[in-house]
């Protein structure tokens, strides 16, 4: 990443480079690109409305934390998976209405909140097939992990395997959302380059949001 560009890996439709606008720091820009694109395109795939309940599995991670905010911005009621404790506070601060402990019986917890099932599932983590079972008939499922209709075992739901396409337009839109204060990039810690070994160790340990490594 250069000092004033927001970039990701090359994609099918573009090279994933956009200028960083004033008001977006480089750590947030670096953390935003691919995770933000995956979150945005997952949300667009399920198109939540204000009457929808959306289950986001992996809500404490880079993609999930951004997806929570994007779903809430559309007025949806979000159920977020967490380990109990500070992770629950983290996703509630992002706008989640409910939390469920993913180390326990997710199905029972979700059914207690939404007995008729949920309208949409975003799947950055967890057992996709079990999560799809929690959809109401006609529900929508988006998986940045790559699950599609053939893996879900249900014919009565719409499933989208999301491959993030970070075009310059998408990156610019995400950056504008952050600058406008409508989207927060949750950075757990910003490391110097010489701390990269610690960053990798911390990545493997419990954390919430993104870890950033700054160069220079």
Ligand X SMILES: NC(=O)c1ccc[n+]([C@@H]2O[C@H](COP(=O)([O-])OP(=O)(O)OC[C@H]3O[C@@H](n4cnc5c(N)ncnc54)[C@H](OP(=O)(O)O)[C@@H]3O)[C@@H](O)[C@H]2O)c1
For binding to ligand X (CB under 6 A), which residues are involved?
34-35, 38, 57-58, 60-64, 81, 83, 102, 124-126, 144-145, 162-164, 206-207
Specify the residue, 23 or 201, whose C-beta has the smaller distance to ligand X: 201
Specify the residue, 4 or 110, whose C-beta has the smaller distance to ligand X: 110
In the structure encoding, which two tokens stand for residue 87, read together? 């992770």
Specify the residue, 100 or 175, whose C-beta has the smaller distance to ligand X: 100
* Smallest distance, ligand X to C-beta of residue 22, A: 26
Residue least distant from ligand X (Cβ) = 61
CA 34 to chain centroid, in Å, comes to: 10
* Residues 156-181: b if buried by 16+ CB within 10 A, e if exposed: ebbbbbbebbbbbebbeebbebbeee
Q: How many CA atoms lie within 13 A of 8 on its CB side?
A: 23
Specify the residue, 36 or 139, whose C-beta has the smaller distance to ligand X: 36
* Smallest distance, ligand X to C-beta of residue 50, A: 25
Q: How many CA atoms lie within 13 A of 109 on its CB side?
A: 17
Specify the residue, 38 or 96, whose C-beta has the smaller distance to ligand X: 38
* Smallest distance, ligand X to C-beta of residue 60, A: 4
* Smallest distance, ligand X to C-beta of residue 123, A: 9
Measured CA to CA, the distance from residue 104 to residue 119 in angstroms comes to 22
* Smallest distance, ligand X to C-beta of residue 119, A: 19
**Cα–Cα nearest to 213, from 191, 198, 197, 187:** 191
Specify the residue, 107 or 138, whose C-beta has the smaller distance to ligand X: 107
Q: Other C-beta atoms within 10 Å of 29: how many?
A: 26
Q: What is the DSSP string of 19-42?
A: EPPTT--HHHHHHHHHHHHHHHHH
* Smallest distance, ligand X to C-beta of residue 78, A: 14
């Amino acid at each position: 990443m250069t000092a004033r560009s927001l970039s990701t890996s090359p994609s099918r439709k573009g090279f994933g480079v956009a200028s960083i606008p004033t008001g977006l720091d480089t750590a947030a820009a670096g953390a935003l690109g691919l995770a933000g694109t995956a979150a945005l395109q997952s949300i667009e795939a399920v198109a939540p409305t204000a009457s929808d309940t959306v289950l986001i599995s992996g809500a404490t991670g880079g993609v999930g934390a951004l997806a929570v905010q994007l779903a809430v911005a559309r007025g949806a009621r979000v159920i977020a998976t967490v380990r109990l404790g500070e992770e629950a506070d983290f996703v509630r601060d992002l706008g989640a209405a409910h939390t469920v402990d993913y180390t326990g019986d997710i199905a029972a917890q979700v059914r207690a909140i939404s007995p008729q099932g949920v309208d949409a599932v975003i799947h950055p983590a967890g057992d996709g097939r079990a999560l799809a079972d929690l959809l109401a008939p006609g529900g929508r499922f988006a998986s940045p992990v790559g699950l599609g209709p053939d893996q879900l075992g249900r014919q009565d739901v719409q499933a989208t395997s999301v491959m993030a396409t970070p075009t310059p337009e998408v990156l610019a839109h995400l950056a504008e959302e952050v600058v406008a204060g409508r989207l927060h990039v949750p950075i757990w810690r910003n490391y110097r380059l010489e701390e990269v070994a610690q960053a990798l160790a911390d990545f493997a340990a419990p954390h919430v949001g993104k870890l950033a490594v700054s160069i220079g």
